[in-house]
Structures are given as structure tokens and as C-alpha cells.
Amino acid sequence: MKVLIIDDDQALCRSLQIALTLKRHEVRCSFSADAGGIEAQAFSPDIVFLDVNLPDQSGLKTLPKLLEGPCPPTVIIMTGESDNNAAVEAMRRGAFEYLRKPLDMDEIRAIVTRVERHRSWVEPEGKIPEKVLCEGFGFDMIGAHPKVVALHKKIGLLSRTKVIVLVQGESGTGKELAARILHQAGSPGKPFVAVNCSAVVPTLLESEFFGHEKGSFTGADRLKIGKLEYADGGTVFLDEIGDMAMDLQAKLLRVLQEEEFVRVGGLEPIPLKARIVAATHCDLRRLVSEGRFREDLFYRLSVSSLQMPPLRERRSDIPLLAEALLEKITAKFQCYKPTLSEDALQKLLAYDWPGNVRELENVLTRAAVLAVDAVLTAEDLQLGPGKESAAAEDCGARPTTLAEAEKRHVEKTLDSLRWNITKVAKQLDISPTTLRKKIVDYELLNPFA
């Protein structure tokens, strides 16, 4: 294939050029957005590796121009930044893949092979139309772990359409935050309407959803617009959908099937224009088997899904999260921002966080507002009793396979020794080369880099 690399890092361009040329691809390089655009018109590449941070213009602004025309190239976005919103925007605007630097040449070769297969069956006219996206969403999910990056990439893909999305994950993992990022990526400027299905009285939930006509029941002294109607072309977020009453589940199913609804006491159908995003911390399959949730509604909601990773599965993000949360907390309470001592950070890394990011925020809030020193120590952090990692593993959080157990042990040891490869290799009784291979195989990221 014909490959164009647009990146101001000339050493990286040369490395990619050599690696891909050895695979018999024709490779050219450009070091700015303008030069890359000119080269793309003259060269007509099949695939473009595009950096986000170019000297003259953001690669994300260059992306739509590259995708113009009847036979656009397949674009791979590259970046050394940790902005997860860029991943959402890149996938939203039509990028094929989003890669974090430093790049792995084996991964590059595998992606090029995928692109070859992809281009062999995708029609030229089948490209997704470019839609302008807001530069900043106003919401940010902090993290550099591969699971967080993959989550943002999937949000970007889902934001291209109004498909129903089911967000699943433990309490405190940020399910509503994911829904808001999806909403801002797909429907900026439109309403985001959140409904907690467990907090509204079941008898009133139907009126909350669909609205009601004047005089439809006692106390209905005026017409009320429901959440589905008010959301218009935006998003209706149904939180804790597993707690919805069975009779209302049947009515919601009909709305999703027919894509229209009727106000309580009304006759005229109203078209459903909003995207439906549902969230739950429950196992809906188990609720279905117990007869507490409709099976047909479950399949309708789970057309596409987002799985929120628990904090214990992305421990390498804890230092990033702690720093961001301390900034947020001190701004909110107008207090001095403390720093975390080494022993405090190690205590955070060793804890299993059953309450996930919400619990981390609560722990840091308590410590920050009670701080009498500029540095928080381990003693300042009041964690839940008996929740350290080993204890949590005994309570059912242990990995299910040997590979998962090894990955967890390697990641924990790396974090505890601040990713000192020599010390970690000695601690694990393996060579540094073997350790580096495991880091690549398990897609572990260094939070101290």
C-alpha cells in the first residue's frame, strides 16, 4: 500500500518508513499539516499516520480534509498526549485507529494488515460523513490505562449514530460521565436529561418519562412535557435501569420499538428524537433469569454497550486521578492544595477501591479539608476497614486465570517500586528483558513517566 506519515518527529517518521518499506509498502513523510495535505493530494495514499500535535495545525483539524474526496485514505491518529477527549474526537471524525506514543512496531504492522483487509471490502462511498465536533467537551475521564483509551475510542465510534447504548459497571466507575462524554460528542448543544429510575416513585415515573395532558389524572392541572419530549435530539440517560418497575419496562420497550410515545391521557403519538443511554451496576442477565427484568428489553438496550473498568483494574491511573481530584477538591472548598507523600501514594495503590473513583474522591476530600500540613501522609488517608488488596482478593476479587493473576502481580509490583525496571525484575526474579516483554504483552502503562 501507499503510506503517508505526517509527523514533525523526523526520527519517528524515519523509523516507521524503514519498518513499513521492509514490508514492501511505498512510504512518504511530511513534517507539517500543510505539507501533509499537499502530499496527500499528489500521492493519493491508502493509509495516513497522522500526529495530533503538528507545528502549524492540530492533526484533528487536518483529519476531515484528508477524508474528503471519493477515495479517502484510512487515517491512523498518533499522539504523545494523554487527552482522552482527543480519542473520542478522532474516532468521531472518522479515524480508523488511535495510538498512544511510544509506538510499538509490531502493533503498527498488525494495524497495517487490518487496514489492508478493511480496504478490500469497504466501498469508497461507504465512508462516514464528517461532522464537526466541539474541541472540548467540558467533561473529562482521567486515565492513560489501555482500558480507558479503548473506552474513549468506542465512545467516539458510537457517537456517530443515535444507537441505544447500555453502560455497565460497578458503582463509582463513572457511568454517567461516560454518558455525558457520548452526548457531547454526538449532540453538543442539545439537552442531556438524566433520570434515576430508582429514585422516582414508580407511579410517577410514567408521567416523568412521557409527560401528561391537562386533566389526565387528579392534580394534572396543566400540560406537562415529559423527559423524552424535552430531550428532543439530545440524550435521555436512564440511570439504574435495573430498578425500573416491570409495567414501565413494557412501555419503555414499546417506545424503543416504535420510536414514538404518547403523553399520559393523550392520543397523539410523539416521535422519539433523543438517544437513549441506560446504565446499571446490576447484572441484567441475572435479573432476567430471576424474572425481575424483561428479556426483550434487555436485548433492545444492549444493542451496543460500554463496560466501565473498576479502579482496581487500572491502578496505574491512580496517581493521575489523585492529582486531578485534589485540584478539583481544593478549588471547590477554597483550601490549600496538599501533595501526596510516597507512603500515601503507595497506600492508595495498594487499596482495592470497592467504591472506585467516587470512593477515591471521598477519601481525598476528607484528607484535604482536614489537612494541617502541605504533605498528606499515609496516616492522613482514612480507607475502609479490611479492604487492602490481599483482603479484597479473599472476598472474591481474585483473578480468574493464571494470566490475570500474573498481570495483576506484575502491575502491583511495578507500581510499588515506581516502575524501576531493575528493582522490579529483581523482586520478581526475572530478567529485565522478560519484564519488558510482559509490560508490552499486558499493555501496562507507566504512570510515573
Query: According to the 3-state scheme, what is the secondary structure of 192-239?
Result: EEEEECCCCCHHHHHHHHHEECCCCCCCCCCCEECHHHHHCCCEEEEE
pLDDT tens per residue across span 136-168: 334 578 888 888 888 998 999 999 889 999 999
Per-residue pLDDT, averaged over 49-69, amounts to 91
Residue 440's pLDDT band (boundaries 50, 70, 90)? confident
Residue 253's pLDDT band (boundaries 50, 70, 90)? very high
Query: In the prediction, which pLDDT does 70 show?
Result: 75
pLDDT tens per residue across span 395-409: 334 445 777 778 888
pLDDT tens per residue across span 302-346: 889 999 999 999 998 999 899 989 998 988 888 888 899 999 999
Query: In the prediction, which pLDDT does 447 show?
Result: 65
Query: In the prediction, which pLDDT does 318 show?
Result: 92
DSSP string for 257-307: HHTEE--BT--S-EE--SEEEEEESS-HHHHHHTTSS-HHHHHHHTTEEEE
Domain boundaries in the chain? Answer: 2-126, 161-307, 312-441
Orientation of helix 318-333 relative to helix 356-369, angle to 10°: 50
Please state, in angstroms and rounded to a whole number, the distance separating the CA atoms of residues 243 and 292: 9
Q: Residue 184, CB half-sphere, CA atoms under 13 Å: how many?
A: 18
Tell me if domain 2-126 and domain 161-307 are identical in fold: yes
Contact predicate 53/116, CB 8 Å:
no
Cell of 401: 486465570
Q: Does domain 161-307 have CATH number 3.40.50.300?
A: yes
Q: What is Dmax (Cα atoms) for the chain?
A: 78
Please state, in angstroms and rounded to a whole number, the distance separating the CA atoms of residues 386 and 399: 19
Please state, in angstroms and rounded to a whole number, the distance separating the CA atoms of residues 379 and 344: 8
Position 196 pLDDT exceeds 50: yes
The mean-pLDDT minimum among 19-33, 47-61, 128-142, 380-394 falls in: 128-142
Please state, in angstroms and rounded to a whole number, the distance separating the CA atoms of residues 423 and 155: 38
Query: In the prediction, which pLDDT does 13 show?
Result: 93
- Beta-carbon count within 10 A of 377 CB: 16
- CATH class, 2-126 region: alpha beta
Please name the helix (run of DSSP H) or strand (run of DSSP E) that holds residue 365, with its range, or none: helix 356-369
Mean pLDDT of the chain: 85
- CATH class, 312-441 region: mainly alpha
